[in-house]
Structure 1
């Protein structure tokens, strides 16, 4: 399969279908976790977040909005990196990461 970034595929995403059954949804989330792990996307994203957090030096909160978070695995891995590097993080939901 060849991908061309010069054109967009505007097909609806399967995971956005409200009638998607639970097993298929879990399978798709597992695939996203594998892709995120293999690509180590958290490492790439964390470098920029850490740079911004250090440049900010507590003057104002650094806000990150995760849209279409999938299963939340990227946010969880970023929270682990934040803890390791001494960066305070929070979540606006009642069940934080």
Structure 2
């Protein structure tokens, strides 16, 4: 399978982003997202590394931006409950279709249908702001706005982590091969396979991301083909 990965395919559009997308396929996509995220997104490791240590010190609030079907938000809330930690998770998405479906799943999460700018205007703050597979949906100007608003939402000692796929031949071929056996069963009737390949074509490389982010942001990489855009606010008392 050949694809042009020399530059971001910013003119390509994911099927699920179409306002007229088939609702049954869209909801099937939300329902199956947790399968993909459990394999490639590694939020369990992030929880152990960055979230649980903070929550053992004091109660924390987490904002999940562009939460979609909310599977990452619900997983973080569930892991925190199992560990007996005081963690409040808010799943934020501006798409009313995603918000409506996610709300029906509950999971001890607060759901908001809004933009990060709305929360900034309201003076909201969170200890940790995250996103999963959001960056590749954005153009450079939208990315700049997201980063500014994310930073505005965290106080002293706060942390922002925007995690995404990194564009590359290995990521593209790996996803294509890994999802092919499930295209006619587990992933059938969803946008996951087609949109996953498009999302990799739209994704940043580490170098591209580092070239456009403001000072103070770190670009980290991890296997398999993971990007993490990270911003930490020093604790005023440290």
Same fold, TM-score > 0.5, yes or no: yes
Of 62, 68, 85, 2:66 maps to 68
The CA deviation at 1:52 is 2.7
More helix per residue: 1
Say whether 1:86 aligns with 2:84.
yes
What residue is the counterpart of 1:8 in the other structure? 8
Give matches, 1:27-46, under 5 Å: 27-39=28-40, 41-46=42-47
Q: Mind listing any 5+ residue stretches in structure 1 that lack a counterpart?
A: none
The TM-score, its normalising length taken from structure 2, stands at 0.33
Give the paired residue count: 93
Which shifted more, 41-50 or 7-16? 7-16
Over residues 15-55 of structure 1, what are the superposed CA-to-partner deviations in whole Å (9 max), with x where a residue is unaligned? Answer: 2221112112023223422101223633122111112323x
Contact 1:32 1:70 in 2 (8 A): no
Q: State the superposition RMSD in angstroms.
A: 3.1
More strand per residue: 2
The 3-state SS of whatever aligns with 2:45 is: helix
CA distance in 2, matches of 1:85, 1:4: 45
Which shifted more, 7-16 or 76-85? 7-16
The TM-score, its normalising length taken from structure 1, stands at 0.68
The 3-state SS of whatever aligns with 1:90 is: strand
Change (3 A) 1:6 1:67: farther
Superposed structure 1 runs of 4+ greater than 6 Å apart: 2-6
Q: Mind listing any 5+ residue stretches in structure 2 that lack a counterpart?
A: 92-102, 110-238
The CA deviation at 1:82 is 0.2
The CA deviation at 1:64 is 1.9
